[in-house]
């Protein structure tokens, strides 16, 4: 019987990755995994398993020896919202100032994302998470630590889900960010995008098609990046929802109803880092 993890890779047309997961060095169990819109399934799962320390040290697809150290939720973070200095939470952090602090809380995982969001909002008794314009980014604890050390995109060979190009991606949907964080991850909460300080580009459909086709490496000819891409510091637009079928049928992907904010310049990433308000740790 083929388990769910292997089945999804067969559906993606990636038998090489199926053989990769058959490696005896893996410690995976069959599970049903929801893949967020705009994400290549293979890249998403490979990155997740690497973050969890389940990638074997020496395989045809991963020849570099990497020691994955477990990152735990800081002990200062409790089930009640508190304000904590970032340097106290993560000693490897490079804070904007010695006293830079954010609001932190532990929130219990729930298989229903809507229920998780509701329960988490109740932890902030002042209605903080009801504020309009907040942006969210879900990530693993190890990636959270990396981001706080150096807030720039981490470029990996398996990051095929960055459909607006290299950058730091956020969403205005708390539930979607939670999908990326999974269990034992974290959600970073940022303040509203201040467009007056940045070059913000919202591509129309034709430009969005060319942009996503370029960075998803779809098998289409005569595709060029729109000229606006070269000057944009932040790109705002919908995620795609059928990358695999678009690649298989040699067509553009369809747009989903979810919006993503891609910070694709040094200035954009710097402004996003300055707007960090809170970190929600999922237990």
What 150-158 contacts at long range (C-beta under 8 Å, 24+ apart), as own/partner pairs, is 150/94, 151/269, 151/270, 151/272, 151/273, 152/266, 152/269, 153/269, 156/47, 158/42, 158/43, 158/46, 158/47
Measured between alpha carbons, how far is 87 from 237 in angstroms, rounded to an integer?
34
How far is Cα 151 from Cα 168, in angstroms, rounded to an integer? 9
pLDDT, one tens digit per residue, over 88-109 is: 999 999 999 989 999 999 999 9
Rounded distance between C-alpha atoms, residue 255 and residue 253, angstroms:
7
pLDDT digits (tens, 9 = 90+) for 20-67: 555 555 555 666 666 665 556 666 666 666 655 565 544 444 444 444
In whole angstroms, give the CA distance from residue 252 to residue 255: 9
1 vs 283 pLDDT, higher one: 283
Which residues are 276's β-sheet partners? 190
pLDDT in tens, 214-256: 999 999 998 999 999 999 999 999 999 988 899 999 999 999 9
Q: For the whole model, what pTM was predicted?
A: 0.76
E strands, 98-240, in order: 101-107, 135-140, 168-171, 185-190, 200-201, 234-240
Q: What is the mean pLDDT of residues 140-161?
A: 78
Q: What pLDDT is recorded for position 134?
A: 98
Contact criterion met (CB below 8 Å) for 179 and 282: no
For residues 43 and 206, what is the distance between their CA atoms, to the nearest angstrom? 26
């Amino acid at each position: 019987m083929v388990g769910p993890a292997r089945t999804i890779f067969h559906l993606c047309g990636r038998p090489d990755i199926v053989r990769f997961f058959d490696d005896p060095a893996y410690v995976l169990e069959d599970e049903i995994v929801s893949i967020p819109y705009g994400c290549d399934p293979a890249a998403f799962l490979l990155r997740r398993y690497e973050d969890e320390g389940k990638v074997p040290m020496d395989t045809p697809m991963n020849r570099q020896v990497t020691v994955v150290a477990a990152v735990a939720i800081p002990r200062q973070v409790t089930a009640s919202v508190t304000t904590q200095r970032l340097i106290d939470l993560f000693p490897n952090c490079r804070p904007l100032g010695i006293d830079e602090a954010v609001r932190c809380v532990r929130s219990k995982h729930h298989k229903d994302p809507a229920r998780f969001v509701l329960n988490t909002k109740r932890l902030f008794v002042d209605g903080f998470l009801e504020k309009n314009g907040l942006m969210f980014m879900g990530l693993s604890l190890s990636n959270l630590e990396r981001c706080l050390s150096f807030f720039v995109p981490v470029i990996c060979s398996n990051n095929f889900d960055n459909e607006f190009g290299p950058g730091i991606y956020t969403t205005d949907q708390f539930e979607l960010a939670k999908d990326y964080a999974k269990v034992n991850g974290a959600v970073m909460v940022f303040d509203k995008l201040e467009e007056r300080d940045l070059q913000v580009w919202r591509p129309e459909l034709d430009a969005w098609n060319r942009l996503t086709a370029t960075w998803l490496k779809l098998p289409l000819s005569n595709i060029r990046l729109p000229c606006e891409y070269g000057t944009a510091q932040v790109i705002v637009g919908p995620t795609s929802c059928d990358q695999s079928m678009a690649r298989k049928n040699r067509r553009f992907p369809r747009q989903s109803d979810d919006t993503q904010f891609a910070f694709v310049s040094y200035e954009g990433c710097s402004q996003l880092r300055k707007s960090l308000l809170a970190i929600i740790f999922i237990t």
